[in-house]
Amino acid sequence: MIEIKNLHKSFNKLTVLDGLDLDFRSSGIFAILGPNGSGKTTLIKSILGMVVPEKGEILIDKVNILQQWTYRNDINYLPQIANFPSNLTVIELIKMVKNLRPKPASESELISTFELEPFLNKKLGNLSGGTKQKVNIVLTFMFDSNIIILDEPTTGLDPISLIRLKTIIQKEKDKGKTLLITTHIMSLVEEIADEIVFLLDGKIYFKGSIASLKEKTKENDLEHAIANLLQN
């Protein structure tokens, strides 16, 4: 369970999070949506401890995690951009990350799922963007953690890999885990999300199911429902 209370964060004179109150009280897939500059990335980085808010609390299982670090051992994070050391091979990177985290890893099935065997001994600097994203996915899901944060996870993926990723996400949800996903792909949200959190100007404009959003906005599809929120 993640609880966020009265979270404030500014960069110079720009207010990014403005008294944000939010909770994810159960397992499931939560899509965090909003236009560029709405506060999505700052919210995620605050949960991860990469950004320190000026005010407020973030609690995981009722424990305030601000200025802490051990809680991150139970979070898997897929960043939007896979910036890997270009001189390392794929297998060297996987081994390095396994050595850095104090929990068992299980990567073999993921490597097979995304057909990465031919690339294991290739340097990361020579890989395509799509292949790097597959490596990114392996690094994220090879650890068993209760909270999974995925920032634009579909970037660069071909249709088959996207289907495989959605299957993995569903399996993690079925294990009772909490998944937070940011994406601009509304079809993905409509297919997998249990709940939507829509941010605008650092505040919550909507939190609820896709069906309730459509009912609220009187729109039949998600893209038009989101557009309606932005217009109002």
Question: Which position has the token pair 């081994």?
Answer: 95
Whole-model pTM?
A: 0.92
Contact (CB, 8 A) for 202 and 53 = no
- pLDDT reported for residue 70: 85
Contact (CB, 8 A) for 170 and 181 = no
What burial class does residue 176 get, using C-beta atoms within 10 Å of its C-beta: 0-12 exposed, 13-18 middle, 19+ buried? Answer: exposed
CATH number of 2-231: 3.40.50.300
- Residue 54: which of 66, 70, 64, 44 has the closest Cα? 66
- pLDDT reported for residue 124: 96
DSSP letter at 64?
E
Query: For the chain, which ranges sit under pLDDT 70?
Result: 232
- pLDDT reported for residue 102: 83
**How does strand 14-24 pair with strand 63-64?**
unpaired
Distance (Å, rounded) from C-alpha 82 to C-alpha 78? 8
- pLDDT reported for residue 141: 97
